[in-house]
Structure 1
Amino acid sequence: MRFIADMMLGRLARWLRLYGYDTLYGIKDDDEIVRIALKEDRIILTRDSALAERAKKLGVKVFLLSSNSLEEQIKELKNLGVEFRELFPPNARCPKCNGPIKPVPKEEVKGKVPPKVYELYSEFYVCQKCGQIYWPGRQWEEMLKMDRKLRGER
């Protein structure tokens, strides 16, 4: 499944990317969202019923979400058949730009991350599109906690 999320669903879009779903986000114009969804065979994610109805009339698949809560939105998507398996990595996409993230040898990030980070960690990932570097630090642990919560695990 490939998605395009409207402007109301930025947090959800970032999490879908972390779960490996190709998710476009940041397009403000509803007509453009519909055009891209049609052209690229993407499912529109929205809370806007008018956008949902217009898109459906044009043959676009739409998931109209009712909740404003990330946890509830994930539950709604699960009920619509979206699977949430392993979080970042190995299949994650960059939460910032939607590019694919790949593991890289530690040596490749030398001088590109703070010296203390380079010293403490041996596992690094780089977005193939924007170059953002990721490692399993404090934010990673927080993401894993949220992942367990979103997937209903203890």
Structure 2
Amino acid sequence: MRFIADMMLGRLARWLRLYGHDTLYGVEDDDEIIQVALQEGRIILTRDSCLAGRAKKLGAEVILLSSNSLGGQVRELKGLGIDFPELFPASARCPKCNGPIKRVSKEKIRGRVPEVVYWKYDEFYVCTKCGQIYWPGRQWGEMVKMDRRLRD
């Protein structure tokens, strides 16, 4: 499934990317959201009933969410059969730009991360689109904790 999330759903969009879902975010204009959804076969995620109604009339697939919280939104999507697989860096998408993430050798990131990070970790991932580098450090640990809360 490919999604496009409206501007009210930034946190959800980042988490969908972490779960490996191709999710566009950052398009501010409702007409453009509808156009992109129709052209690219994306499902519109929104809390805006006016946008949802207009999009449906034009033939776009829409999920109208009612919850304002990330946990509630994830529960709604799970209830519709959207998969939330185990968090794993190699299957995630970049939470910043939506690009695919791939594992890279430690040698390839030398000089691109702080020295302390380079020597402390052996596992690195890079976004193939924006070049952002990720490693299973403290921030990844916090995401895993949040993932557990979302699963409960």
- TM-score normalised by length of structure 2: 0.99
CA deviation map 1:112-138 (0-9, x unaligned):
000000010000000000000000010
Runs of 4+ residues deviating >6 angstroms: none
Q: Give the SS at the match of 1:90.
A: helix
Please say if 1:113 is aligned against 2:109: no
Identity %: 74
Matches within 5 A, 1:5-154: 5-152=5-152
Residue identity opposite 2:40 in structure 1: E
CA deviation map 1:8-40 (0-9, x unaligned):
000000000000000000000000000000000
Aligned residues: 152
- TM-score normalised by length of structure 1: 0.97
Q: Give the SS at the match of 1:95.
A: coil
CA deviation map 1:32-80 (0-9, x unaligned):
0000000000000000000000001111110000111000000000011
Q: Distance in 2 between matches of 1:2 and 1:10?
A: 15
1:90 Cα deviation after fit? 2.2
Residue identity opposite 1:23 in structure 2: T
Q: Distance in 1 between matches of 2:51 and 2:4?
A: 12
Q: Distance in 2 between matches of 1:151 and 1:39?
A: 33
1:151 Cα deviation after fit? 1.5
1:93 Cα deviation after fit? 0.3
When the two chains are superposed, the root-mean-square deviation of aligned CA atoms in Å is 0.6
1:88 Cα deviation after fit? 3.1
Structure 1: segments with no counterpart, 5+ residues? none
